[in-house]
Amino acid sequence: MKKTIFVFGLLIIALLLLFQLSKYAMISGNLNFEITIAIIAVVFFFVGIYINKKSLHKRKIASTEINHQKIKDLEISKREYEVLQAISEGLSNKEIAYKLFLSESTIKTHVSSLLIKLNAKRRTQALQIAKDFNII
């Protein structure tokens, strides 16, 4: 967040400098009008692209990147989260147990607490909720 403010500050300063520079260059007759306008246009065109990419990138992160804070808020532990990921891969409890070197009853324990924490009745519902929360 501090970085964003810093970058934007620099950007505004750079633009003001460009503004003044082009003005004086024009007045002193070193630069003709079309070139000045063109430079301004190109610079602001790329500034527009840059700003837009930044904001879209953030939105993209929000919609596809994992919300680790939400995982903490829901008090989902490491093991439970591993089980949740395995469920999203379509594995059965037995397969998850084999993958994580655990017994099936341990997996059932984890699944049950996951369902409670996600307020779901089934594993498929848990998946849907987890996707809504951007935690898988």
Residue 110 or 129 with smaller CB distance to DNA: 110
Contact pick of 25, 36, 109, 113 for its own copies (by CB under 8 A): 36
**DSSP H or E run through 64:** helix 33-64
40 interface partner picked from its own copies, DNA, none, CB below 5 to 8 A per type: its own copies
Question: Which H helix or E strand runs over 53?
Answer: helix 33-64
On whether the CB atoms of residues 65 and 134 are closer than 8 A, the answer is yes
Burial 41-53 (b: 16+ CB within 10 A, else e): eeeeeeeeeeeee
- The answer to whether residue 58 forms part of the interface with its own copies (CB under 8 A) is no
List the interface residues with its own copies, window 68-87 (CB under 8 A). Answer: 87
Tell me whether residue 57 or residue 68 sits nearer to its own copies (CB atom).
57
**Could you say which of DNA, its own copies, none residue 21 binds, taking C-beta under 5 to 8 angstroms by partner kind?**
none
Using CB under 8 A as the binding rule, whether residue 52 contacts its own copies is answered as yes
CA nearest to 93, candidates 72, 74, 114, 78: 114
The option from its own copies, DNA, none interacting with 100 (CB < 5 to 8 A, set by class) reads DNA
- Residues near DNA (CB under 7 A) are 75, 77-80, 92-94, 100, 102-106, 108-112, 115, 121-124
Q: Considering the rule CB under 8 A, would residue 31 count as an interface residue with its own copies?
A: no
Question: What is the CB neighbour count within 10 angstroms for residue 123?
Answer: 18
Three-state SS at 15 = helix
